[in-house]
Structure 1
Amino acid sequence: MDLLYTIWDIVHYLQKNLTTKSSEIMNFKITCTAVFFSITALVQAQTQQEVVDALVKEASENSQLEELAYELLEGIGPRLVGTPQMQQAHSWAVDKFESWGISAKNEQWGQWKGWERGITHIDMVYPRVETISGTQLAWNPSTSKKGVTAELVILPTVANSAAFENWLPSVKGKIVMVSMKQTTGRPEANWKEYATEESFEKMKKDKAEAERKWRENMENTGYDRRTIVEALEKAGAVGIVQSYWSEGFGANKIFSAYTKEIPMVDVSLEDYGMLYRMVEHDAKPKLRIVAESKDLGMVPTFNTIATIKGTEKPEEYIILSAHFDSWDGGTGATDNGTGTITMMEAARILKKIYPNPKRTIIVGLWGSEEQGLNGSRAYVEDHPEIVSNIQAVFNQDNGTGRVVNLSGQGFLNAYDYLGSWLHAVPEDVSKHIETHFPGTPARGGSDYASFVAAGAPAFSLSSLSWAYWNYTWHTNLDTYDKIVFDDIQNNVILTVILTYMASEDPDRTSRVKSVLPIDKRTGEPGVWPTPRQPERNGGAN
């Protein structure tokens, strides 16, 4: 750039000292000015490409992703809101950011029921001994070290709620199985690959019929899957066993318990089916459940916020967004450890290669997303001065896959700026991405929706599935070994370049909203989502 200013000084000198006609001087000035701005544009393009190349080189040749994943997922483990592991993760993230020279803090936005998982042992002790694969559900009260031993029973088939109420007293002193027995333990894709066409169709029909009968019988009891557990506990059951199969080999979804005093555990499809059939055959199996845990009372809950201060427009913001919490059936690797390490690695690279951004870059690692986007909703509510000046939010939260979809989220002019920023992304990254403009605004699903509802341009970096929904989303199989690091590196490159381009863009992003299509459900014109209040006192009741 110094060379350009030297050229400009020479132009001015010649203009002042030439003795030719004024029209010739004017033509000369116009020509020199055009040359100057052409050279300026060329140098700026070269400088931009140099920064992009340096960002890609750092991401490719000095990746910290595997070490970050190990430290977070296996050194700390799952990050259920309210647990000591969640607090440990927040402290770890602040230390990690600061080791990279990035200012960071944990910002309290509420409190949550504190709980710590202990040992779970589930064993069949009659008519033979066998260890059962399963785990205690979150926020479940602890058993004694001796645990609970009792006979298993299953829900009866009833004609109406009166018949169920008549049966209900019989559960006293029993452990009750509250999930349906699956007709097959094989995923549908496995059947489709190997079964005959006739057998495949019969399986689907049998499965659909079993599910219909189960739903109908549950309605006949007068309860749903949650309230029936409460009724069973009140009637004197000493334990509850469920099996929330995720339609994949070995995969069960693990959420929270519905009981207040007795153990509630989730058991693998394979073991649950065996126990269920034994009850059906009047084998009277007995189960011993030891499920230890600690009630920690109400504890503070946080967002981790890291900041790289902008130089020219510090009051305008780009937010790198990922939720930090997880369920705790696995270690929360792909939901959302992968999004977390993507944004942390992106921040590390940006601080090293692009340490003086024009706009302020914020990394938001949100708490309690799993219970309703609470951390990000609280941030939006608490920081209107930031939300009103957001240039862009980039959020990643649907697994380990490379980004393949980018929507304009209903912002009418999103193509103008997102399209321009994407143009700088290397083709081996951008070629995978399908764009949808202007798109429609998200109403939930992940934290970018909190910002969209407030009218801020926020975008989901939506990933290739890698069987996310069946195998890792909220399951016991969401672990380190499911991460595809090549795809995460791809996403880091995308994130750092989009962030760099958004920071350098001379223009503010447009917030003009598109006219939404007719809502097919109501027949009325679509309405933009509105901000929702976070739950700031979670699990208190």
Structure 2
Amino acid sequence: MAAAVCLGGVAVAMGQPQPASENVDLAMYSRIRDEGFNRSHVMEYGSALFDDIGPRLTGSPAMKKANEWTRQQLTAMGCANAHLESWGEFGMGWTQKGASLEMMKPGPAVFLAQATPWSPSLGKAVTAEVVRVPSLKTQKDLDEWKGKLAGKVILYGDAPKINPDPKPLLEHYDVAKLAGLGQYPLDGDMSEQGVLQSTDMSFWRGLFGDLAFKEKVAKFFAAEKAVAVLTPGGSGGVIEDDTLGTFGWYVYRADHKQAIPEMVIANEAFGRMSRLLAAKVPVTVKAEIETEFSGDHEQGYNTIAEIPGSDPALKDQVVMVGGHLDSWIAGTGATDNGAGTIVAMEAMRILTSLGVKPRRTIRIGLWSGEEQGIFGSSGYVSKHFAEFKFSKDPKDADVPEFLQTMAAAPVMKPEAAQLSGYFNMDNGTGKLLGIYAEGNAGIGSIFQQWMAPLKDLGMTTVSLRNTGSTDHVPFQMAGLPGFQFIQDPRDYETRTHHTNQDVYERLSPSDLKQASVIEAIFLYNTAMRDAMLPRPELPMAGEAKPLEGLFLDATKDGKKGAKK
């Protein structure tokens, strides 16, 4: 008999008897491979989602369109119960309509620029002098600029240093790299996987305290009647544009609305103007920022659909696959995380086209709000599987709830006992090379057996490392099996992550086909085996990590091993 633990009145199987070896259906592997490689729809889904609908900021009209389109596509491919499910109120809807920046004096130049998310509009093109303002940290810093900013465009912050000898943008994991990932780091350093070594709340208090002060800076600029703000955002034709470039984390909420229009611009443009101003050469620019708000209390929605289970004893059990549908706005959200979305959709299409009758129900979840705090997936987990108990220390008022310490173990809900596992993809367009087992040693040999017939596709590595910063984490926080695949990095961290280069042209069709085939096989295997997948230990009070790695880019060492 399987061991069970009672949590919140729910009996959750923690150690179901597992077979000595997996029943791997090689005939089905062949059918899935044939369908996925020879009749793929993954790039068709990609063009419709990225070229037609475009960037999908949470709460925006485009996000609503994407939710409806994915629901329609999942219905058309034969999935059941395709619907949109709210995870709650998000904030303001917003769309970038246009942005441009030209230097008029001392000479003409056209600069690469984008509005920052939730920036207010300028209303009309404005020609104004530029003033250079360093990063402001204290009230005294603000006081020094009183009476000096009216009618000016502010070049804000320090000019970034640009490496004249950058490393190649494209990277591929080789055998040695994968062997390294297969080794568990004895020092606990999994920063490359987006897992912070320390979850000390003092770090988060400091970070979000700084972001809260940035809100104050923006209000000061507006009160001083400055025209707009320009901030640096990337080099080599790549500009990064996300919340860390705005004046405050909560700019998507009406009560924290950014007070002054802002554009992120190329580091080269920022540097050129900064040097001119330092040499006391006057600079004048023509700036245009056209944006549109579309509501203060927009709801956030996930797209949900399923292939119903057929085994009378197992059909109420569920295996899930997903990725986040929302994106930032500089590109079209093709690699972050449109790739994970269309791969999950294609995996479902492969299975429905083959007429698979899974024993367990196979369910897809396409999440929104991931970029602002993993809202969609954590909202789904909270609604269906577990109630989280965060400390809500008054000292952490500026820190989002999902980064706070747990005050008690999650309270499990009845549906939690029915979830076998969740599989997620969210690291770009690269092919799948393995999977992170999240310290769940019991599942390692299972995955190895599933992967043995897939070695010719490059799927070779099971790592017991954790990985953070994306939508499998709420499942893990609830003590449920949630997994992220190991992906070939390609140019995700070097070129496309949150940038204007996150577009269809950066996708690898062959890699996306491979990923779709592997996801379909993992879903099929999980749905067909006799036992549910082995479960991790349930996080206890004080031991649960927050959504690790969400802000690794912003830590003191500046590592970019994590996304978001």
TM-score by length of 2: 0.73
Q: How many Å apart are 1:157 and its aligned residue?
A: 9.1
In the alignment, the residues of structure 2 paired with residue 301 and residue 51 of structure 1 have an alpha-carbon distance, to the nearest angstrom, of: 37
1:317-332 matches, within 5 Å, as 317-332=318-333
1:118 maps to what in 2? Answer: 97
Residue 420 to residue 240, structure 1, CA distance change in 2 (3 Å) = same
Checking the alignment, whether the CA contact within 8 Å between 1:160 and 1:222 is kept in structure 2 is: no
1:220-369 matches, within 5 Å, as 227-245=216-234, 249-256=236-243, 257-258=246-247, 260-297=258-295, 298-312=297-311, 313-369=314-370
Q: How many Å apart are 1:182 and its aligned residue?
A: 2.7
1:421 maps to what in 2? Answer: 450
1:538 maps to what in 2? Answer: none
Task: Determine whether 1:433 maps to 2:430.
Answer: no
Checking the alignment, whether the CA contact within 8 Å between 1:310 and 1:360 is kept in structure 2 is: yes
2:401 maps to what in 1? Answer: none
In the alignment, the residues of structure 1 paired with residue 472 and residue 233 of structure 2 have an alpha-carbon distance, to the nearest angstrom, of: 28
1:527 maps to what in 2? Answer: 543
Checking the alignment, whether the CA contact within 8 Å between 1:122 and 1:287 is kept in structure 2 is: yes
Q: How many Å apart are 1:309 and its aligned residue?
A: 0.5
In the alignment, the residues of structure 2 paired with residue 514 and residue 260 of structure 1 have an alpha-carbon distance, to the nearest angstrom, of: 40
Q: Describe the SS at the equivalent of 1:413.
A: helix
2:127 maps to what in 1? Answer: 149
Checking the alignment, whether the CA contact within 8 Å between 1:421 and 1:502 is kept in structure 2 is: no
Q: How many Å apart are 1:355 and its aligned residue?
A: 2.6
1:147-204 deviation per Cα after TM superposition (whole angstroms, max 9, x unaligned): 332211112599986465223431222111113223336453269xxxxxxxxxxxxx
Amino acid in structure 2 at the alignment position of 1:376: S
Say which is worse superposed, 365-374 or 380-389, in terms of deviation.
380-389
Residue 381 to residue 54, structure 1, CA distance change in 2 (3 Å) = same
Q: Describe the SS at the equivalent of 1:183.
A: coil
1:6-21 matches, within 5 Å, as none
Checking the alignment, whether the CA contact within 8 Å between 1:185 and 1:269 is kept in structure 2 is: no
1:300-358 deviation per Cα after TM superposition (whole angstroms, max 9, x unaligned): 22000011100111111110110000001100110001101100000000112243111
In the alignment, the residues of structure 1 paired with residue 38 and residue 135 of structure 2 have an alpha-carbon distance, to the nearest angstrom, of: 62
Residue 236 to residue 108, structure 1, CA distance change in 2 (3 Å) = same
Amino acid in structure 1 at the alignment position of 2:460: I
Residue 45 to residue 229, structure 1, CA distance change in 2 (3 Å) = closer
Name structure 2 gaps, 5 residues minimum. 1-21, 170-209, 248-256, 386-413, 549-564
In the alignment, the residues of structure 2 paired with residue 231 and residue 482 of structure 1 have an alpha-carbon distance, to the nearest angstrom, of: 40
In the alignment, the residues of structure 1 paired with residue 135 and residue 265 of structure 2 have an alpha-carbon distance, to the nearest angstrom, of: 22
1:375 maps to what in 2? Answer: 376
Task: Determine whether 1:399 maps to 2:386.
Answer: no
Amino acid in structure 1 at the alignment position of 2:239: N
Q: How many Å apart are 1:54 and its aligned residue?
A: 0.5
Residue 223 to residue 286, structure 1, CA distance change in 2 (3 Å) = farther
1:175 maps to what in 2? Answer: 153
Considering only aligned residues, what root-mean-square deviation do their CA atoms show, in Å? 2.8
Checking the alignment, whether the CA contact within 8 Å between 1:168 and 1:232 is kept in structure 2 is: no
TM-score by length of 1: 0.76
1:198 maps to what in 2? Answer: none
1:358-507 matches, within 5 Å, as 358-384=359-385, 385-423=414-452, 425-429=453-457, 431-437=458-464, 439-440=465-466, 442=467, 444-507=468-531
Q: How many residues are aligned here?
A: 443
In the alignment, the residues of structure 2 paired with residue 228 and residue 185 of structure 1 have an alpha-carbon distance, to the nearest angstrom, of: 30
1:62 maps to what in 2? Answer: 39
Q: How many Å apart are 1:243 and its aligned residue?
A: 1.0
Q: Describe the SS at the equivalent of 2:45.
A: helix
Q: Describe the SS at the equivalent of 1:169.
A: coil
Q: How many Å apart are 1:464 and its aligned residue?
A: 1.2
Name structure 1 gaps, 5 residues minimum. 1-43, 192-220, 517-524, 533-541
Q: Describe the SS at the equivalent of 1:251.
A: coil
Residue 465 to residue 526, structure 1, CA distance change in 2 (3 Å) = farther
Q: How many Å apart are 1:275 and its aligned residue?
A: 1.6
Residue 455 to residue 182, structure 1, CA distance change in 2 (3 Å) = same
Q: Describe the SS at the equivalent of 2:281.
A: coil
Higher helix share: 1
Checking the alignment, whether the CA contact within 8 Å between 1:452 and 1:458 is kept in structure 2 is: yes
Residue 435 to residue 158, structure 1, CA distance change in 2 (3 Å) = closer
Amino acid in structure 1 at the alignment position of 2:291: S
Amino acid in structure 2 at the alignment position of 1:304: T
1:70-89 deviation per Cα after TM superposition (whole angstroms, max 9, x unaligned): 00000110110111111111
In the alignment, the residues of structure 2 paired with residue 187 and residue 244 of structure 1 have an alpha-carbon distance, to the nearest angstrom, of: 19
In the alignment, the residues of structure 2 paired with residue 105 and residue 514 of structure 1 have an alpha-carbon distance, to the nearest angstrom, of: 30
In the alignment, the residues of structure 2 paired with residue 472 and residue 450 of structure 1 have an alpha-carbon distance, to the nearest angstrom, of: 25
Q: Describe the SS at the equivalent of 2:426.
A: coil
Residue 427 to residue 166, structure 1, CA distance change in 2 (3 Å) = closer
Checking the alignment, whether the CA contact within 8 Å between 1:315 and 1:389 is kept in structure 2 is: yes
In the alignment, the residues of structure 2 paired with residue 165 and residue 491 of structure 1 have an alpha-carbon distance, to the nearest angstrom, of: 55
Q: How many Å apart are 1:515 and its aligned residue?
A: 11
State the identity %: 27
Checking the alignment, whether the CA contact within 8 Å between 1:309 and 1:359 is kept in structure 2 is: yes
- Larger CA Rg, structure 1 vs 2: 1
